[in-house]
Chains A and B, each alone.
Chain A
Amino acid sequence: MPSPAVIEQFPHAHAARSELLLEGVSLECIRNDAVLFSGVSFALAPGEILHVSGPNGSGKTSLLRILCGLGLPERGEVRWRGAEIRSVFVDFVSRVQYVGHSDGISLDLTCAENLEFACALAAADPGRPLGEALDEAGLGHCSSVSARRLSAGQRRRLALARLLLIPADCWLLDEPFTALDPDGHALVNGFVRRHAAGGGTAVISSHEPVEAGGVPIRELVL
């Protein structure tokens, strides 16, 4: 199998370990007795974005689940600020936001109720008013609409609105552009740009390029 390659190297890569936020160290994933990927390593300093791409079935979702601690790698480890994530799990999950394949939205709750629940689960108080986050995600008029009545793209926007509401250092986004219109793409790119400019880091799996103007983006091809 082809070994994954980190194409773009950045000078930050040599930054002291304590400055690194998220690291993957020779990660290997096995699914159904087949090696999906092995030897995947990367290190992300504040302000850096990792874009994961690769054909369907190459393990992008598995990699993201491993990075957020939902999945276990066969080999290797994920480090948060230099420590293995399971040894600092509570600290880790309170600084990370994961938006997975399924949006994590309860269809029988309204948009506002879904976000309120996300805040109740999160460590920090919401960084800003709930309505503002909905406005910015383009759902300002849907605040009291049941999520069941939203389109797939709108549900995606609601899931992404969590990112605006809950402060986190690291975003793990699995196919964030799915079902989004061109305006939604620009929106996500804008979120990511602002997040990186504020010293955050993100791992984004997507078939489409991430255009976060000026922010260093590393490419990882599985």
Chain B
Amino acid sequence: MSASARSGFGGVLRRDLLLGARQRSELANPIIFYVIVIALLVLAVGADAAVLDRLAPPVIWIAALLASTLSLDQVFHQDFADGSLEQLLLSHHPLAVLVAAKIAAHWLLYGVPMMLTALLVTGMLRLPDSALATLLATLLLGTPVFSLIGAVLAALTVGLRGSGLLLPLLILPLYVPLLIFSVGAVEDAARGLPVAGELYLIASVLALSICVMPIAAAAALRARLS
């Protein structure tokens, strides 16, 4: 990355983190949603240890997927509404670099807190300690993918009426491979099986997303705003 692109990346990242820190209620909502979904499930299932053992990995992941879609609207919506997005498009920095900074900020503001919350709620779900490290690894690799894929669809739907519901409908199917392999990894870890294969696969999805998604999101933004 050239010095100029770095300064553009840094500028957008700093600003988005600052904005996030000033809109704390927006940050808290997906986390609260996440905790409520898991608490509802635990209340509905009851204290049946065998069922909870079986449910813990998928529930932690499905709740994380649902909660993450709540925050995706935030990636571009505000900048679209106040005209900042036009200024980003007319910056001489490559748009994909600026979009990558927005995605990084989104992950730091929403993905990281969700990961930490997931670790806290495992207590409610009786996830075996042996699977904790694997759960953390899948979330560490998976939550940036939420932000990366989500940003493309958020860019495609920015400014559309009714994008609030459209976005989850479009994005949830795209998370399916991630869900299958992550839940598989956590279940295998709970049974004491090796999980390297699944983790490598999720990591490769992340690597591919990092390369492709910022460019795709930048193209989608240009198309939406022209």
Contacts and interface: CB of A to CB of B under 8 A. Distances in A.
A70 interface: yes
B8 interface: yes
B82 A105 contact: yes
Interface of B: 4, 7-8, 10-12, 14-15, 18-19, 22-23, 78-79, 81-84, 86-93, 98, 225-226
A96 interface: yes
A94 interface: yes
A181 to B, nearest CB: 22
A108 B19 contact: yes
Given A70-B225, A71-B226, A117-B11, A106 B89 contact: no
B15 A104 contact: no
B225 A109 contact: no
A123 interface: yes
A122 B92 CA distance: 7
Given A72-B226, A120-B7, A121-B11, A109 B18 contact: yes
Contacts of A69: 90
Given A70-B225, A123-B92, A109 B15 contact: yes
Given A70-B226, A113-B15, A104 B91 contact: no
Given A104-B84, A117-B15, A70 B8 contact: no
Q: Which of B88, B89, B92, B226 has the most CB of A within 10 A?
A: B92
28 contacts: A68-B90, A70-B86, A70-B225, A70-B226, A72-B226, A91-B92, A93-B90, A93-B91, A94-B92, A98-B87, A101-B83, A104-B83, A104-B86, A105-B82, A105-B83, A105-B84, A106-B19, A106-B79, A107-B82, A108-B23, A109-B19, A120-B8, A120-B12, A120-B15, A121-B12, A121-B88, A121-B91, A121-B93
A102 interface: yes
A150 interface: no
A102 B91 CA distance: 16
Interface in A70-107: 70-72, 90-91, 93-94, 96, 98, 100-107
A103 B12 CA distance: 18
A175 to B, nearest CB: 13
B8 A121 contact: yes
A25 interface: no
A166 B98 CA distance: 19
B108 to A, nearest CB: 17
Pick the 5 closest A-B CB pairs, nearest first.
A120-B11, A102-B83, A94-B92, A104-B83, A121-B91
A117 B23 CA distance: 18
Nearest to A102: B83
Contacts of B86: 70, 98, 100, 102, 104
A179 interface: no
Contacts of A107: 82
Contacts of A117: 11, 15
Contacts of A122: 91-92
